[in-house]
A = this chain, B = another copy of it.
């Protein structure tokens, strides 16, 4: 199915560009790609401890310790010590840290607006139906 492959290549480019735009819009210039990746992963894992985060990022614990210290200094992350296990702490995003997710939301809403302009309501229904089957 060559046509679909072509469309997916374009879709990939389209979504990448929209995320880029959102990043500029949110003025995340002082955040590196790596730092962004840490924040996204903390959000996905929902307050992991340091070992879990290091595992998900495939990095060593000392590496992650150091970078988390920097993110804490920038007021993007904070630690909460676990009650159950006093060795370990859970990582949380501050309100400022949560802006990254807001940024993704912004990119996605922009795409929705853009798509709505280009297709009819019926086509939209069908499109969502198929996407749902694909993405379960």
Which A residues are closer than 8 A to B by beta carbons? 1, 3-5, 7-12, 14-15, 19, 33, 104-105, 108-109, 111-112, 114-116, 118-119, 123-124, 126-136
- Chain B proximity of A57: nearest CB distance (Å): 12
Q: How many copies does the complex hold?
A: 2
Cβ–Cβ contact B133 & A5, under 8 A? no
Secondary structure of the A side of the interface? helix
3 A-B pairs with least C-beta separation: A7-B131, A10-B135, A8-B108
Given A3-B128, A127-B130, A133-B123, A15-B12 contact (CB < 8 Å): yes
Known: A5-B108, A8-B108, A118-B133. 15 other contacts (CB 8 A): A4-B112, A4-B115, A4-B128, A5-B105, A7-B128, A7-B132, A7-B135, A9-B104, A9-B108, A11-B131, A11-B135, A12-B15, A118-B136, A123-B133, A127-B127
